[in-house]
Amino acid sequence: MRDAFHRATSKPYTKMVSCATGLLLLALGLLACASAETEAPPLALPNTATSLPPSTPLPTQAAQIPEQRLLILEWPETIRVGDSDLILLTLEVDAEGNLTPTASIQGHQVKGEIFTVPNLYATHFVFAEGRLDISGLEVKPNPEIIESLQPGKRVKFAWSIRAEQVGNYRGMVWLHLVFKPKSGGIEERLALAAQRIDIRAVNLLGMSGNAARWMGVLGTLLGSLLSFDPIPALFGKLWKKKNECHPSRDQED
């Protein structure tokens, strides 16, 4: 009895489980079909991108080659009191390095040194500033002189000096480069050289230069006059005439 009852009650249960399982599988199948229809593969778009050429670096400004120059300083080692002389500072273009510093005035001391100047002429106004610092001597026109520096052009500074007293004078000659941007902005200064000079002022027998020159002129004239033959002959005739007019005592006796 009990087995028959168990079989009678388990059969509907098994059937219900089977139906539920079938419905579940059917639902899963429908969901799979729907997802397959909606998820279509992406269309293969034509490749319209064009190939770019390899990147090239932007053009840069040409290399700025520094300009080689020879700095020549010339000054008198000795100056006479009351006289004037020159101190010269020249910035020569020496691209090959073949120039030799030579004195343009006889008897002057000379000193040379090679420098390189930054090539900024395209973007800056370039100036050369020369300055003479020396105390005790009269300096003309001004201790500080500024000149425009152009590529391939020579720059020359000249100071006239004059000594009023005997003594030794020591000074400094400075050279600076000044760069002013053409587009505006703050200027820059570059110290290029600082040279020391020594000058000795002398006189002749305590006389100034003008007095010594006049004494030289008078001595030259006197020597020229004494070298002429008529002058000694004239003195000889005068002496002979004096003797004729005033005979000596021996002749009177």
Domain ranges of the chain: 67-202
Please say if the pLDDT value at position 235 is more than 60: no
Beta bridge partners of 147: 128
Q: Which distant-in-sequence residues (6+ apart) come within 8 Å of 100 by Cβ?
A: 112
Indicate the residue type of 164: E
Predicted local confidence at residue 189, as pLDDT? 92
Q: How far apart are CA 148 and CA 140, in angstroms?
A: 20
Q: How far apart are CA 131 and CA 133, in angstroms?
A: 6
Among 39-43, 106-110, 183-187, the range scoring the smallest mean pLDDT is: 39-43
Please say if the pLDDT value at position 42 is more than 60: no
Predicted local confidence at residue 25, as pLDDT? 64
Query: Tell me: the pLDDT tens digits for 197-213?
Result: 999 999 876 555 566 66
CATH class as words, domain 67-202: mainly beta
The model carries a pTM of 0.58
